[in-house]
Amino acid sequence: MSMLKNIFGKKSEAIKSNADFWNWFEKNEKDFYNAVNRGTNIEKDFFDKLSPQLESLKEGYFFLTGMLNEQTAELVLTADGNIKNIVFVEELVNAAPKLPNWKFTALKPATDIKNVSIKMGDYTFGSDNLFFYSNDDKEYPDKIDITVVHLDCNEENKPIITNGTYIFLDNYLGELHFTENIDIIDVIGKDEANKELVPIEKLQDFLIWRQKEFVEKYEGVRHNTENDGYSSLEATLSSGLPLIAVINSTLFEWDAKPSHPWIVTVKIGYNGEDNNGFPDNETFQLLNEIEDDFLMKELKDSEGYLNLGRETAENLREIYFACKDFRKPSKVLEEIKNKFTSQVEIEYEIYKDKYWQSFNRYMN
């Protein structure tokens, strides 16, 4: 499997859905198969045709391709670490037709450690020069904090060593496993290590064990926010403009935060220049409609999506959720973006924060 390819090129007007894409692919699959099988002119005969069609569906799709065996070509579609796109890649592959000479795979799969070796410039990444150890914190016992040691790492080459190590782990562990099961990674050289080094080939088993413990500990944990208490906070920013926040104070005292490790931040931009950075009445009603009639109705606490609160200041409303899963929020937010794109600017981010430390300003 080789050649990770960023999607670029002119967007095709013809491809509007996953079904459209696969209909187009199926019509051309024999030519694409021959291009992959030959291994020559693959850029011109396959990549340059595939890229714009995928981009017309959604920006941020990547792919790898190669011969799985003598008769079968494999196309791996990947989000390349972008959590927001994982569910859309999975749905696209789930919609793929059954073609006799093709295998379609969602996200980079795990690879046998014996078959994983990465080379970047003058550096290699593999089981011969990569080790790890776990950093345990009694205050945050469920956080998976890993230090990876590369024998050739030093201050001068740390950026390229770190990048190569991430690529290695992505291929060794598999894209989804890597995304879901490691909270923090630090890459260092041998001289900086302060614990016994564990061979990198044992990392996968270690993560499976830690995840099993985590699931058993928090399986079935839910929180009903109906009777929660809320606090209103006011502050003045360095710009001199005011900030108002409303937070669920009960949730921030909850002792089962790691059960909802995915943080979703929804950012809605508006024009508040004439109102001290706050929305006018019409915009205020629209912001409340988006939050109450769409976000709250789709992301329910009973299903594992907890509304932590919101901030409003400097032409921006931010709404926060802690979630058990990242897939549904991605889909809901894309739908909301498309619905209100002509009225307000909506962006969102999803990241893992098991102990909600990014909200320490509310918890202290």
pLDDT of 26-59, one tens digit each? 999 999 999 999 999 999 999 999 999 999 999 9
How many whole angstroms separate alpha carbon 364 and alpha carbon 346? 29
Bridge partner list, 247: 231, 309
The string of pLDDT tens digits covering residues 329-348 is 999 999 999 999 999 999 99
Q: What is the pLDDT of residue 362?
A: 86
pLDDT at 243: 97
b vs e for 155-174, b when ≥16 Cβ sit within 10 Å of the residue's Cβ? eebeeebbebbbbbbbbbbb
Q: pTM higher than 0.85 for the full model?
A: yes
Residues pairing with 216 in the sheet = none
Count the Cβ atoms, other than its own, within 10 Å of residue 296: 16
Within 8 A by CB and 6+ apart from 4, the residues are 62, 63, 64, 78, 80
Q: Which of 360, 354, 361, 286 is nearest to 317 (CA)?
A: 286
- Whole-number Å distance between alpha carbons of 282 and 287: 9
Widest pairwise Cα distance in the chain? 67
In contact, 9 and 52? CB cutoff 8 Å? yes
- Mean pLDDT over residues 222-248, rounded? 95
